[in-house]
Structures are given as structure tokens and as C-alpha cells.
Amino acid sequence: MVTALTNFGDSAVLLPVATILLLWLGRRASALWWVLGVATTAGLIAILKLYFLACPLGDNLQSPSGHAGLGVVVYGGFAAVIARDRPVIWHRAALWCAVGGLVLGIAASRLLLGLHSLPEVGIGCVVGGVGLLVFILGDRGAEKRPGTLVALVVPAVAALVLFHGRKLYLDHALRTLGAWLQLGTFACF
């Protein structure tokens, strides 16, 4: 159960889902803000992972959680897009609670599996929140959405089903690069 939950935060699931939202947004300013939000999250997580791998700050802070960070921005981005088109406020509240529960579940699963510490999960969530904020603030006042929500949700759910349980081993490449940086070519401060 815990592994199944953590798999919803894997890059192998989140990147296709993020791409579906990008394609749905089309050639509009919203798509640019979406790319900036996801890239901000992924970039900051990668930079922090490299920094902490090269310059460890103890046992509790070695690798910020990409699952948590990307989960916040991707699922939060979907919630923001869907909530914007929901006229009834309690529908929006229920949506944000469901997405918040999923993201908290992913974050908790990283702790329960012993893959991250609480500070690492916290940093991942904060970084994901920054990326989500980039998207939401940039998307304010955006033009009418290009298609129906069904055209967004059905492919996204199909991608979740299709890619759930698959893995992208991006951490291995970052660990290799972090080990190289640790050899003295990286200035720790």
C-alpha cells in the first residue's frame, strides 16, 4: 500500500501527466507558466540534490524529496486548472482537500519507506509549492481554457494507470554527479 502510494510521485508517472496538462493548455501563456512552474521545481530539486550530495549536512539532510516536490506542483497544477473552472466553492474545497491528501500521502510514504527524512520531504514540498505558485500567479487572468475538463482528466487518469509502478532512475545520475562534485571541485558553504 505504501509503495503503491509513493509510486504516484515517481517521475515516470508525473512527467507524462505534466505533459498532458501542457498539451491541453496548448499554445497559450498558461502553457509557458506551466513549463516554468514544473521546470522551477525540477531544477531546484536537482540543484539541491547535487548540493547536498556534494556537501552533506548530516544524516537528516542528504537528498530533498523529488517525489514530494513534483507531486505538489503537478497535482497542484491540475487542481488549480480544474478549480478555476468550478463555479461552486465547496467543489473547489473538496478538490484541494483530495489533492492535498494525495500529496501528503506521497510525502508520508517517503518517510515510511525510509527513503527520506522529514526535512528532506519538507524541502521537497516547499520547492514544489514555489513551482506551483509560479504557475498559479503567472496564470492569473489567463484566457479561456482551450478544451473541456474531460479532455484533460481522461488522458491524465489513463497516464496514471499506464505509468503507475514504473520508475525513472534519475537519482542514480544525480548521485554519480554529486560524488564527482564531492571530490573537491564543488565549493561547499
Does a structural domain hold residue 153? yes
Instruction: For residue 16, give every residue at least 6 positions away whose Cβ sits within 8 Å of its Cβ, in sequence order, or none.
Output: 159, 162, 163
DSSP 143: P
Burial 42-81 (b: 16+ CB within 10 A, else e): bebbbebbbbbbbeeeeeebbbbbbbbbbbbbbbbbbbbb
Evaluate if pTM is beyond 0.85: yes
Domain tally for the chain?
Answer: 1
Domain range for residue 43?
A: 2-182
Residue 188 lies in a domain: no
| More confident position, 19 or 186 | 19
Upper half-sphere CA count for residue 54 (Cβ side, 13 Å)? 19
CA distance 63 to 49: 5
**Residue 187 domain-assigned (yes or no):** no
Does residue 91 belong to any structural domain of this protein? Answer: yes
Q: State pLDDT tens for residues 39-87.
A: 999 999 998 988 887 777 777 787 899 999 999 999 999 999 988 876 6
